[in-house]
A and B are shown apart, each in its own frame.
Chain A
Amino acid sequence: MFPAVIDEYIRPKDIAQARGALAGYAPGDAIFIAGGQSLMQAIKSRMVRPRCVIDLQDVAELKGIERGNGLTIGAMTRYVEIAEDRDLSGGYAALRDAAQHVGDRQVRNRGTIGGSICWNYVASCMPCVVLGLGASMNLIAADGKRRQIRAEEFLLGPLETARAPEELLVSISVPKLGANSGSAYKKWGLVTDALPVVGVCVLVILDSAGKCRSARVSLAGLSAGAHRAKAAERVLQGGNGSESEIKDAFAQAAAAADTQSDKWADDSYRRQLIRTLGFEVATSAFARARGTVQGVAK
């Protein structure tokens, strides 16, 4: 119901102060809070009992989306900013698809992409999407050392990431996805915009002949947490993105997936969701790559 006692609340003005705020606390006793839409659930249920909360809301270096060679998305970028950024189209569109349907609009006003990725809840959208887009996480340690780590190596499993407790996620780097790329994301849950029972993200990059040069497929909602469906990628790569290829890709992804049974769906239904969502999402990704559709997958 209510948090356990918190000894200290610190609101750093910049990254250096944020790093410094960790001093004096054992690893894990001082935690960073971003939007709090996941973390506050854990703090209120006492699953997490921080002695010190370091609030990142004022740290300017963590905000905003920079466009250069690809995107650099500040960790504190709120879902609503991503959801409303019309320039996140084509290969970046999956980011918008996901952000527009996380939780509800109050959550989107507050929750952040960085918070979602660092929490890496088993049924969550953003970890799946950053994995699908081949993004990398930019971290800074308490001693100032920076490192960049690919999503594959960052996302270890439900509620587990490679971020050490004293590391701060600064930003997410998404590689340049040009005019011939398209991505999409869609999930299914029992009620509108619920946490994904299954979610699928697809990124395709086409060559000048319109063939699929590379494909990335990632799945959300399975008990292993966000991971790639390489079986599907292999089918799509080098193909034309035809209906039958897409169907085959996700038939294979479903067959290869380790799906769990719970009160929302049994393992066979999760496989069916991989097949049907995958088909929709991949079709949308190809259409966006070809420039034939700009809308959001509903």
Chain B
Amino acid sequence: MSDEQGTSGRPNFAGDTKAWMGARMPRKEDLRLITGNGKFVADFVLPGMLHAVFVRSEMAHAKIVSIDTSAAEALPGVVCVVTGKDIQGQIKSMRQPVLMPNVPANYPDYWPLSIDKVKFHGEPVAMVVASDKYIAVDAAELVVVEYDPLPVVTDPEVALQPGATQIHDQFDTNEIFKMTFTGGPELEAQERNAREVDRIFESAEVVVKERFRVHRTGVTPMEPRAALCEWSDADGLKAWVTTQRPHTERAALAQVLDIPASDVQVIAPRDVGGGFGVKAPFYREVPMVAYMARKLRRPVRWVESRYESLMNVGQERDQINDLEIAATKSGKLLAFRSRITADNGSGEVGVYWGFTMAFLGAVEMPNAYTWEKADIRLRSAVTNKASLTPSRAFGNFPTRFALERGLDLVAKKCGIEPSQLRRQNLITQMPCASVTGKGYDSGDFEKVWATLMSKVDLPAFRKEQAELRAQGRYIGIGLTCAVELSGLASCVLVPMENLPGYGAAAIRLDALGKAQVFCGDAPSGQGHETAVAQLVAAELGIDPSDTTFTSGDSKTTPFGAGSIAARFGGYSASAVQKACQELKNKIVAVLAHDLKLDATVGDFDFVNGEIVFRKDPSVRTAFAGMVDRIIMKPIDLPPGMSAGLDATVFFESDQPLVCFNADCCIVEVDVETGKFEIKRWVTCEDVGNIINPLIVDGQMHGAIVQGLSNTMFEEFVYNEEGQQLTADFENYKLATAADVPDIELNYTCTPSPYTPLGTRGCAEGRPSSIPGALTNAVCDALSPFGVEINELPLRPNKIWKKIQAAREAMGRAAE
């Protein structure tokens, strides 16, 4: 299969392979994907493979009285049916060390299949394995479960009240997690801090107090979850899983199945159809698939339906934030007080337990502004719903909405432009730590803001807004900014998830001068294969087609915490770069020795497949030749040096890395229907030096549209009986291309001083500023009516109701 003659998308950078860094290079991944030759987990077929389907609870909260599998087992083609009771003595519980964060919480003990009771609509209670997936579904229907209903708890505030029905019998509270994020770890210091915050509020000229609510929504990927497991007595367990964290998945499988980790290999295929955090947890179904493969000594494949996916995963956000902000009347921000109540769901999800997202959201809440103090507390309540699972903008979506809406309310009270309020409070001293202790390494936030505003012409907008208002038309502008994480330093990730934050890369040069790069993370569309090839090309002077990239395989790659938290650009890419540096150091040491030159790596350029001596370019040699010399002809090497060209680097930056973005949204609202149209979405991003701008542009577009879709359309709805009503795409609506605008991206560049290339990971937290920007724009449009919207989702029917109420109030006031 050939691409266009002579144009693999390679720009003409003859003479300067350093130009691969920053090139808008079309991706290496694409050819297989545009020709239907990708290989996703559901595409893998093994001889003798069986198909698994889970029987799931119809009840939100109930005791399991009995499960009758006899009819299912009798169906021709069914190989095995198991329930929780069958497996409870055979495997360990899901509460295993590698899956437990290092923070105190009420972690429920649970098995992959329910044992005594079910706690949410959709919880798996039995598993069917059959020769054919249609038969497996037939059999699942024949499993008869008898339930004894229990009272259902769907409101997190109700769940936290004394006397509420307890969901996890091991505990006498539905509070799974609670923490104060300001004032340090000691209670006394926290209380002292809280009193200082009280004092600031008492004397503040401007105080805003509001309750903000964000609904249950998330970023469900297009590929549903799947796992294929194969067991052999000789090699143990081999599992292909749609996971963002193959190394963690491997350790977890080993611990739950109680087998040595050396007997477990997890592979996230190089083609995974989107993750966005939803594929980061360790889920119940995977150890069950592994269990069945081992029990039956046949490969077993499970592919979830969209229905199961929407029932069980991808639910995030869902918080109440009681927020108060204190400021001076000239708009200097002083302090804020935030009480967050999170709707945790059942919490039975490994690594995350439903609350680590809210944890990080609270840590990051101070955003890009200087505050004297803050008092931030979180309580996460177990309810009879699916557990929250990560979604892109991990934890930040609801807190950023609250804060950014709150700031617009402050600006109104101060009588200043919301953009002015933000600008004058932006952090300028770097590195710094926020009032929660979260470190920011570097960044020029003011420059980003100024650049954004230069694209907007606010005075002209206000003039147009006034003119249109006189004609009965309502346009509005909304502005937000966000400092987002760029990887997570170990000092945060170890407590939060019991996992290290470093980026790791192993590079192996082969005797022909080609590079093989191994990373332990598992991308799902971010273009790591291409970006890594570009990095290696820029460093070693070889062509991007001469680098192969292996990710996602626990057997062959160094440990990686996973494709989460925007780790690639800052951490993994830096590890690749430093591994290249080590290889270059060694190559140059041998070359200098061979040439009897007194020179080090800084005296040579690696360019266009050659190594060239800068002081005398006639002194040059082929890269591939040197590699061959060091691997295949290791004679007369420098004293003490061995053959081979392998380098493995674990990189962690000296400061926690961040990136920064600002959004401007302009809308027009039709006050007769509450419908609104986004007329313009313009941004400015600072993500440091960029490896491939084409890829980063795509990441920004995708994140912004996910944020819009979450804000406007998507909502997971549970009724009072805990029945989940939005488990298909008719009811859980995703944005189509016709529902979202074009997006104008702008960039400034503050290279990070803490990464070798000045790169930063980016675009994970990106959706978080979207709800604030959009809602601020709608409220700005409707300010003649005094409409303030502090709840999501943002919907025409709700906007219309608010306008009607405002009109009625205005009518009454006029009487």
**A269 touches which of B137, B141, B734, B797 (Cβ 8 Å):** B797
Distance in angstroms between the alpha carbons of A194 and B796 in the assembled complex: 15
A129 to chain B, nearest CB (A): 21
B672 within 8 A of A: yes
Known: A2-B133, A2-B134, A4-B138. A273 touches B673 (CB 8 A): yes
A195 within 8 A of B: yes
B171 within 8 A of A: no
Distance in angstroms between the alpha carbons of A268 and B395 in the assembled complex: 35
Distance in angstroms between the alpha carbons of A192 and B734 in the assembled complex: 11
Query: Which residues in B have their C-beta under 8 angstroms from that of A195?
Result: 730
Distance in angstroms between the alpha carbons of A90 and B175 in the assembled complex: 64
Of the listed stretches A175-183, A216-224, A259-267, chain B binds: A259-267
The 8 A CB mask of A177-221 against B (1 = contact, 0 = none) is 000000000001011111100000000000000000000000000
- Asked whether A265 lies within 8 Å of B738 as measured between CB atoms, the reply is no
B733 within 8 A of A: yes
A5 within 8 A of B: yes
- Asked whether B801 lies within 8 Å of A191 as measured between CB atoms, the reply is no
B789 to chain A, nearest CB (A): 15
- Asked whether A266 lies within 8 Å of B797 as measured between CB atoms, the reply is yes
- Asked whether A192 lies within 8 Å of B739 as measured between CB atoms, the reply is yes
A272 to chain B, nearest CB (A): 6
A161 within 8 A of B: no
Distance in angstroms between the alpha carbons of A20 and B612 in the assembled complex: 85
Per the 8 Å Cβ criterion, residues 692-731 of B in contact with A are 712-713, 715, 717, 725-726, 730-731
Distance in angstroms between the alpha carbons of A194 and B133 in the assembled complex: 31
Query: Which residues in A have their C-beta under 8 angstroms from that of B461?
Result: none
Known: A263-B725, A269-B801. A5 touches B730 (CB 8 A): no
Q: Which residue of A is nearest B795, CB measured?
A: A190
A26 within 8 A of B: no
Q: Which residue of B is nearest A192, CB measured?
A: B738
Distance in angstroms between the alpha carbons of A186 and B804 in the assembled complex: 24
Query: Which residues in A have their C-beta under 8 angstroms from that of B734?
Result: 191
A276 within 8 A of B: yes
- Asked whether A263 lies within 8 Å of B713 as measured between CB atoms, the reply is no
B735 within 8 A of A: yes
Most buried by B among A3, A5, A263: A263
Distance in angstroms between the alpha carbons of A193 and B739 in the assembled complex: 10
- Asked whether A1 lies within 8 Å of B739 as measured between CB atoms, the reply is no
The 8 A CB mask of A272-287 against B (1 = contact, 0 = none) is 1100100000000000
**A272 touches which of B137, B715, B733, B800 (Cβ 8 Å):** B800
B765 to chain A, nearest CB (A): 25
Q: Which residue of B is nearest A269, CB measured?
A: B797
Distance in angstroms between the alpha carbons of A273 and B713 in the assembled complex: 18
Most buried by B among A188, A191, A268: A191
**A191 touches which of B133, B137, B733 (Cβ 8 Å):** B733
- Asked whether B673 lies within 8 Å of A272 as measured between CB atoms, the reply is yes
Distance in angstroms between the alpha carbons of A266 and B799 in the assembled complex: 12
Query: Which residues in A have their C-beta under 8 angstroms from that of B307?
Result: 1
Distance in angstroms between the alpha carbons of A138 and B712 in the assembled complex: 43
Q: Which residue of A is nearest B719, CB measured?
A: A263
Contact residues of A: prevailing secondary structure: loop
The 8 A CB mask of B790-815 against A (1 = contact, 0 = none) is 00000111001100100000000000
Q: Which residue of A is nearest B712, CB measured?
A: A190
Most buried by A among B672, B673, B730: B673
Q: How many residues of A contact B (CB 8 A)?
A: 23
Distance in angstroms between the alpha carbons of A276 and B616 in the assembled complex: 79
- Asked whether B305 lies within 8 Å of A1 as measured between CB atoms, the reply is yes
Per the 8 Å Cβ criterion, residues 17-56 of A in contact with B are 46
Query: Which residues in B have their C-beta under 8 angstroms from that of A3?
Result: 134
- Asked whether B305 lies within 8 Å of A190 as measured between CB atoms, the reply is no
Query: Which residues in A have their C-beta under 8 angstroms from that of B739?
Result: 191-192
Q: Which residue of A is nearest B305, CB measured?
A: A1
B798 to chain A, nearest CB (A): 9
Query: Which residues in B have their C-beta under 8 angstroms from that of A46?
Result: 141
Distance in angstroms between the alpha carbons of A245 and B417 in the assembled complex: 44
Distance in angstroms between the alpha carbons of A273 and B674 in the assembled complex: 10
B736 within 8 A of A: yes
Distance in angstroms between the alpha carbons of A90 and B401 in the assembled complex: 48
- Asked whether B725 lies within 8 Å of A190 as measured between CB atoms, the reply is no
Q: Which residue of B is nearest A266, CB measured?
A: B797
Distance in angstroms between the alpha carbons of A268 and B798 in the assembled complex: 11
Distance in angstroms between the alpha carbons of A38 and B187 in the assembled complex: 60
**B736 touches which of A188, A192, A264, A272 (Cβ 8 Å):** A192
Distance in angstroms between the alpha carbons of A265 and B675 in the assembled complex: 12
A38 to chain B, nearest CB (A): 11
**A265 touches which of B133, B138, B733, B797 (Cβ 8 Å):** B797
A273 to chain B, nearest CB (A): 7
- Asked whether A276 lies within 8 Å of B673 as measured between CB atoms, the reply is yes
Distance in angstroms between the alpha carbons of A193 and B735 in the assembled complex: 12
- Asked whether A191 lies within 8 Å of B736 as measured between CB atoms, the reply is yes
The 8 A CB mask of B133-149 against A (1 = contact, 0 = none) is 11001100100000000
B474 to chain A, nearest CB (A): 16
Query: Which residues in A have their C-beta under 8 angstroms from that of B735?
Result: 191
Query: Which residues in A have their C-beta under 8 angstroms from that of B673?
Result: 188, 272-273, 276
Known: A269-B797, A272-B800. A194 touches B733 (CB 8 A): yes
Query: Which residues in B have their C-beta under 8 angstroms from that of A276?
Result: 672-673
Per the 8 Å Cβ criterion, residues 622-679 of B in contact with A are 672-674
The 8 A CB mask of B732-773 against A (1 = contact, 0 = none) is 011110110000000000000000000000000000000000
A278 to chain B, nearest CB (A): 12
Query: Which residues in B have their C-beta under 8 angstroms from that of A192?
Result: 736, 738-739
Known: A263-B715, A272-B673. A190 touches B733 (CB 8 A): yes
Q: Which residue of A is nearest B307, CB measured?
A: A1
- Asked whether B137 lies within 8 Å of A1 as measured between CB atoms, the reply is yes
B588 to chain A, nearest CB (A): 58
Query: Which residues in A have their C-beta under 8 angstroms from that of B674?
Result: 269
Distance in angstroms between the alpha carbons of A266 and B804 in the assembled complex: 14
Q: Which residue of B is nearest A4, CB measured?
A: B138
The 8 A CB mask of B103-146 against A (1 = contact, 0 = none) is 00000000000000000000000000000011001100100000
Known: A191-B733, A192-B738. A263 touches B137 (CB 8 A): no
Query: Which residues in A have their C-beta under 8 angstroms from that of B717?
Result: 263
- Asked whether B133 lies within 8 Å of A268 as measured between CB atoms, the reply is no
Query: Which residues in B have their C-beta under 8 angstroms from that of A190?
Result: 712-713, 733, 795
- Asked whether A5 lies within 8 Å of B672 as measured between CB atoms, the reply is no
Q: Which residue of B is nearest A123, CB measured?
A: B730
B734 to chain A, nearest CB (A): 8
Distance in angstroms between the alpha carbons of A268 and B797 in the assembled complex: 9
- Asked whether A269 lies within 8 Å of B800 as measured between CB atoms, the reply is yes
Query: Which residues in A have their C-beta under 8 angstroms from that of B137?
Result: 1-2
A147 to chain B, nearest CB (A): 34
Query: Which residues in B have their C-beta under 8 angstroms from that of A269?
Result: 674, 796-797, 800-801
Query: Which residues in A have their C-beta under 8 angstroms from that of B133?
Result: 2
- Asked whether B713 lies within 8 Å of A5 as measured between CB atoms, the reply is no
Q: Which residue of A is nearest B799, CB measured?
A: A269
Q: Which residue of A is nearest B133, CB measured?
A: A2
The 8 A CB mask of B406-434 against A (1 = contact, 0 = none) is 00000000000000000000000000000
B805 to chain A, nearest CB (A): 11
**B797 touches which of A1, A193, A264 (Cβ 8 Å):** A264
A41 to chain B, nearest CB (A): 8
The 8 A CB mask of A231-274 against B (1 = contact, 0 = none) is 00000000000000000000000000000000111101100110
- A/B interface sample: 20 pairs, CB < 8 A: A1-B137, A1-B305, A2-B134, A4-B138, A5-B138, A104-B736, A190-B733, A191-B713, A191-B734, A191-B736, A191-B738, A194-B733, A263-B726, A264-B797, A265-B797, A272-B672, A272-B673, A273-B673, A276-B672, A276-B673
For the A-B complex with A1-B307, A269-B801 known, give 15 more contacts whose Cβ atoms are closer than 8 Å.
A2-B137, A3-B134, A46-B141, A104-B736, A190-B712, A191-B733, A192-B738, A263-B715, A263-B717, A263-B725, A265-B797, A266-B797, A269-B674, A269-B796, A272-B800
Which are the 5 A-B pairs with shortest beta-carbon distances? A192-B738, A269-B797, A265-B797, A2-B134, A1-B305
